Amino acid sequence: MLAVLRNRTYRRLFTAQVVALTGTGLATVALALLAYDLAGADAGSVLGTALAVKMVAYVAIAPAVGAVADRLPRRALLIGADLARAGVALLLPFVDQIWQVYVLIFLLQAASATFTPTFQAVVPDVLPAERDYTRALSLSRLAYDLESLLSPALAAALLSLVTYNWLFLGTVAGFLASAALVTSAVLPKPALTLATAAPPTGGIRAGATAGTRLFLAVPQLRALLALDLAVAAAGAMVTVNTVVYVRDQLGRSAGDVPLALGAFGAGSMVVALLLPRVLDRVPDRALMLRGALSLTPVFAMLGAITTAGGGSWRWPALLAAWTAFGAACSVVLTPTGRLIRRAAPAEARTSAFAAQFSLSHSCWLLTYPLAGWLGATAGLRSAVLALGAVALAAALLAVRLWPAREAAAVEHEHAGLPAGHPHLADARRVGAGWRHSHHPLLDGLHVHG
């Protein structure tokens, strides 16, 4: 897996991702402490609202970024997003009103909604070989999991020396380091895009919905949306209700909360390490669908833990359930980039990644409040039943939407596309048009499949 780090450009981009994630993790801890200072016992509601603001920023901003990203220098876009995040983080220590938290969080996450899809679309150009790209996806998943485990520990160590406001400066340093690393990387020039190969049609609004229309048109991407919903159901249960299970259901100490969350991360990391070799032998469809379907028995196990009156077995069972959730979610999420890369034409790749970023977070915007409100008002058993039903329905829908057999390549002609258009990279000139073959795409260039 680490062999891909021999690529100098990818090594710098991956390092930029890691340091930015570390800065984000420090900000998460500092923000919780800031919320407590501002709201006291109501800090939970402040953080819950901030989380909702984060999701809204992701859902609203990413499609617009996808519409314009291909018309802008990608390195400048990545650096600008990092600098914007650093500027917002620099203002957080001076916040003294709750509404200011919400405004700054929206701005911070809007910049992240610019950085992340653009970064995801650059990596396939840096690592064009699918084997290398698969390993890069696993490394990226591993980076997210390590951040969730190590950033709280780093924050705890720093808090023994400084006040939490200094953690925001660590966030600033992380984003500035990320910008410097991107600056030092030589990014490959993107293939000529639709924006430059032909006059744009429909304007920014049409461009903002192009990725979503692509997702709704391609069966594999429609299935991916259902898989995202299944993962969001399990992830929301872990993120929102871990503290309730550990403290209220099991009566354990606050120190066991990060241990439970670490079990989820550990399950995800183990799978991320193993997947590159597995994906060399097992098709994406079989692996991702099995991962989504395996969430249902884990929810059943969680239901047993929830309804049991007592017993020392429930704590190790909860750790096992959280580990299984992490592993299943990683099985679904890690190959996602491969699926988008194959299903979307090169000229639509940035908008496709932006659409996936936005639509997947729409799923979280649904499941976060479902996990929290149901758990608080109707009890954890109702939350388990509801989210378990969502995960099962979404997994079965993905099975139905994703064709068991890929459609055969179809030879066809394009007329009216200029020479040098990215879709014509492997085409041959035939009369007034261009002829080539590939698997059917519904992307605006292939209206009839």
Q: Is the domain of 214 the same as that of 276?
A: yes
- pLDDT(90) > 80: yes
Whether 436 and 401 share a structural domain: no
What integer best gives the mean pLDDT of the chain?
82
Q: Is residue 262 part of a domain?
A: yes
Q: Which of 374, 389, 406 is the last residue of a domain?
A: 406
d(CA 390, CA 57): 24
175 and 210 part of one domain: no
Q: What pLDDT was estimated at residue 205?
A: 55
Domain identity same for 427 and 350: no
* One domain for residues 52 and 157: yes
List all residues 6 or more positions away from 326 whose beta carbon is below 8 Å from its beta carbon: 145, 238, 263, 264, 265, 266, 267, 268, 269, 271
Closest-CA residue to 56 (of 448, 366, 411, 388): 366
The answer to whether residue 432 is domain-embedded is: yes
Residue 34 and residue 4 share a domain: yes
21 inside domain? yes
Confidence of residue 201 (pLDDT cuts 50, 70, 90): very low
More confident residue, 133 or 45: 133
Q: Which long-range contacts (CB under 8 A, 24 or more apart) does 423-426 make?
A: 423/345, 423/346, 423/347, 425/191, 425/346
Residue 206: CB atoms within 10 Å: 13
141 occurs within a structural domain: no
Return the percentage of the chain with pLDDT > 70, whole number. Answer: 83
Q: Are residues 66 and 164 in the same domain?
A: yes
Residue showing tokens 């995801």 = 120
Share of the chain above pLDDT 90, in %: 27
Whether 232 has a pLDDT exceeding 90, the answer reads yes
> CA torsion sign, 57 to 59 to 62 to 66?
negative
Do 114 and 236 lie in one domain? The reply is no
Domain total in the chain: 3
Q: Order of strands across the sheet with 410-415? A: 410-415, 433-438, 428-430
**Which residue in 86, 117, 101 sits closest to 53, CA to CA?**
101
> Residue holding tokens 């705890």?
156
Does residue 195 fall inside a structural domain? Answer: no
117 CB-near residues (< 8 Å, 6+ apart): 62, 65, 66, 69, 350, 353, 354, 356, 357
pLDDT at 41: 58
Q: Are 270 and 322 in contact (CB under 8 A)?
A: no
**200 is a domain residue:** no
Rounded Cα gap, residues 155 and 383, in angstroms = 31
Q: Are residues 127 and 168 in the same domain?
A: yes
Quote the domain boundaries for residue 398.
Answer: 206-406
In this prediction, residue 45 has a pLDDT band, given cuts at 50, 70 and 90, of: low
Q: Kindly state whether residues 176 and 228 are assigned to the same domain.
A: no
The pLDDT of residue 312: 87
Other CB atoms within a 10 A radius of the CB of residue 26 amount to: 27
Question: At CB < 8 A and 24+ separation, what contacts does 242-245 make?
Answer: 242/322, 244/375, 244/380, 245/305, 245/306, 245/318, 245/380
Same domain, 155 and 233: no
Q: Higher-confidence residue: 140 or 439? A: 140
List the CATH number of the domain containing 91: 1.20.1250.20
The highest-confidence range among 124-133, 304-313, 429-438, by mean pLDDT, is 304-313
- How does pLDDT run across 244-296, given as a tens digit for each residue? 888 888 888 877 877 888 888 889 889 988 888 898 888 999 999 999 999 99
pLDDT digits (tens, 9 = 90+) for 289-327: 999 999 999 999 999 999 987 788 999 999 999 999 999
CA 251 to CA 96: how far, in whole Å?
35
Say yes or no: 288 and 436 in one domain: no
Higher-confidence residue of 126 and 435: namely 126
Is 374 within the bounds of a domain? Answer: yes
Assigned domain for 197 exists: no
